[in-house]
Chains A and B, each alone.
Chain A
Amino acid sequence: MNAAQFPAREPTDWTTDAMQRRIRARYRAEKRFRIYGLFAVLLSAGFLAFLLITMLSSGARGFTQTEIALPVDFAASDIFLEPAQLEGGDRDQLLAGADFQGLAEQTAIDAYGEDGTMLISNGAWLRLREAVADDPELLRREERIWVQASTEVDFAARGADGLHMTDERRAMIDRYAQLEADGNVRRGLSWTFLSSADSSDPTLVGIWGAFKGSLLTMIVTIALAFPVGVLAAVYLEEYAPKNRWTDLIEVSINNLAAVPSIIFGLLGLAVFINTFHLPRSAAIVGGLTLALMTMPVIVIAGRNAIKTVPPSIRDAALGVGASPVQVLTHHVLPLSLPGILTGTIIGMSRALGETAPLLLIGMRAFVPSPPSGFTDAATVLPVQIFLWSDELDPGFVEKTSAAIIVLLVFLLAMNGIAIWLRNKYEQRW
């Protein structure tokens, strides 16, 4: 070692101008870099905030509706029904045969002039029919009935806010002011939106149908994915021998978790619908497809949860003579359940928000009445959002956003529960 061959270098002079300038430049670069980082975080969060605010501000109105009063004179109308007739068993048929639609339109014209039909929703007459079904005595008298107003009136109720103004629109706004002054319109929470299903008229649509479809689909999904996922996780983590087969299972599961969701849609179409001839558009097929997609998520979460149970617990149980299955059911499963449940909820919330695979198995059908069973044609919330977003009628915009709010509230609630579970039961060994 001949370090001596180099003379000691002069110590660096940090006080020279050049050196000090350099250091200042380095600190500026440091600050800039830090600001870039902050900017990235804020931009990402800002985008989220922008998205949520956009949805909330345009969606809040989706939960409301404008109603307009129709002074309906049933007694003088073309509906020749007697209250007594409606007591019988053929009530529905009689009601279906009566021309309530004509009555509603005529009343609107009588009350609000030649273009009166423009003010009421296409489905307004259904309200008249329901009213008569509830109270047949109405047929003998005149009654002021509140019906859904048309989209144009609904927009006018909003005023000039944010819309592209046309002459018709301006005229409608003036007209709305007049109606309001006369007490002929009112605004309120839309019961229709919360209780009915799809429709081609934005004033008549509701999310209940899609919500019920989502519920049925999720029931099928969890009923299949949870037991299978947990059992597979248990097998792989606790009992599986280390061989080529179990390696293959592991690789399959890890890859399935990363396969694009639309591929599961193709699988569902080819297998459940074209091979097993299960009904198209039904909750059961949607649930099966989503179950295949969710299962790997549950398996992976389940394995991680089981891994955290320390081996000493298993040894202790085996030491007192418990059988392997007893070790599992008495100790390992109860201890890892919170983790498994957290993973399940996260997988389910992903399934709840999933759209693409369901489009392929026909769940994009127009379903005007809520499904009553697993094999009925159904749609789900995200698909409903997609369908409404495609509608040309501007009245659908706020309904779509409102449906998005409903979906996001559910997802948020599910994730909240998952986080709460994790924090409450998380155990450190």
Chain B
Amino acid sequence: MNDEIAAPATDRIAIPPETLKMTARDVDVFYGAKQAIEKVSIDIGMDHVTAFIGPSGCGKSTFLRTLNRMNDTIPIARVTGQIELDGENIYDASMDVVQLRARVGMVFQKPNPFPKSIFENVAYGPRIHGLSTSKAELEEIVEKSLVRAGLWDEVKDRLTESGTALSGGQQQRLCIARAIAVDPEVILMDEPCSALDPIATAKIEELIHELRGRYAIVIVTHNMQQAARVSQRTAFFHLGTLVEYGETSDLFTNPQKERTKDYITGRYG
């Protein structure tokens, strides 16, 4: 297996500089003394959906959280290496976490709407960041975001109802609307469908298609079919390392590494 790790995992992907959004180089993440991520280097392009796959506990979610510094909220977590957003190191002292997270939005595994009305949920981000100057503008942002998240038609008559009263799938789309209301450049999705039923999942996947191109989207999933359906590029993580990164169709049909092959053929997972 040694030869696999030695080879740079990003070999098979060439992202043209003009669509390059985020780059990570030699990223290590430690939880206390335990190393959770080891030497991960990856490029993320603007016009694609990138999927992170791998068995549970492989570090794919941990790595995702380093991309908008959500690991900062865990006191014992420590990140080394370099992660750049448009050429700026996001772990630099001059990088403002508040701006970073506004630019790199996130959708979580379990839908987590705030216990407020649907309108207030979506308006939350624009309000705290001061993105609107008038009530009308705010309403426009909320409507736009809900439309883009494909939720508008379902909730337009009950915007004042609590966000927690929606069904699971609707809640997750509300969370996506909430994320896109601040106009991020990148959206990170951490297993967004794992708590949903198949119909709701299909709706979210369709939504990811719609959003593609407008935002750089990174999705973590343990479901290989989902990765194959929604992504153009796939990165396979195993035991805290990035094993293989390639065009999705390529990676699934013609894996280069033994471990990738074992995983996608179901030898473990």
Contacts and interface: CB of A to CB of B under 8 A. Distances in A.
Contact of B150 (A3, A22, A27): A3
Contact of B147 (A5, A9, A14): A5
Interface string A7-31: 0110110100001001100110000
B144 A14 contact: no
A3 B96 CA distance: 31
Interface in A288-333: none
Interface in B149-164: 150
Given A23-B96, A23-B98, A12 B210 contact: no
B95 to A, nearest CB: 11
Contact of B148 (A3, A11, A22): A3
Contact of A2 (B102, B147, B182): B147
B56 interface: no
Interface residues of B, number: 21
A6 interface: yes
B32 interface: no
Given A6-B144, A6-B148, A26-B98, A1 B210 contact: yes
A399 B185 CA distance: 72
Contacts, number: 37
A3 B210 CA distance: 7
A117 to B, nearest CB: 71
A196 B98 CA distance: 68
B183 A11 contact: yes
B157 to A, nearest CB: 18
A23 B99 contact: yes
B185 to A, nearest CB: 6
Contacts of B128: 26
Contacts of A3: 147-148, 150, 210-211
Nearest to B131: A12
A19 B182 CA distance: 14
A22 B130 contact: yes
Contacts of B185: 11
Contacts of A26: 98, 128
Interface residues of A, number: 15
Contacts of A12: 102-103, 129, 131, 182-183
Interface in B72-99: 96, 98-99
B12 interface: no
Interface string B204-237: 0011001100100000000000000000000000
Contacts of B150: 1, 3
A278 B98 CA distance: 70
Contacts of B211: 3
Contacts of B183: 9, 11-12
A9 B143 CA distance: 13
A118 B136 CA distance: 86
A276 B185 CA distance: 80
Contacts of A6: 144, 147-148
Contacts of B98: 23, 26-27
A16 to B, nearest CB: 11
A12 to B, nearest CB: 5
A308 to B, nearest CB: 28
Interface string B131-151: 100000000000010011010
Nearest to A21: B130
Contacts of B131: 12
B214 A8 contact: yes
Given A6-B144, A12-B183, A1 B206 contact: yes
A2 B210 CA distance: 9
10 contacts: A1-B150, A5-B147, A6-B144, A6-B147, A8-B214, A9-B144, A11-B185, A12-B183, A19-B130, A26-B98
Interface of B: 96, 98-99, 102-103, 128-131, 144, 147-148, 150, 182-183, 185, 206-207, 210-211, 214
Given A12-B102, A14-B102, A27-B98, 18 more contacts: A1-B150, A1-B207, A1-B210, A2-B147, A3-B147, A3-B148, A3-B210, A3-B211, A5-B147, A6-B148, A9-B144, A11-B183, A11-B185, A12-B129, A12-B183, A14-B99, A26-B98, A26-B128
Q: Shortest 7 CB-CB distances between A and B: which pairs?
A: A3-B148, A1-B150, A22-B130, A3-B210, A14-B99, A6-B144, A12-B183
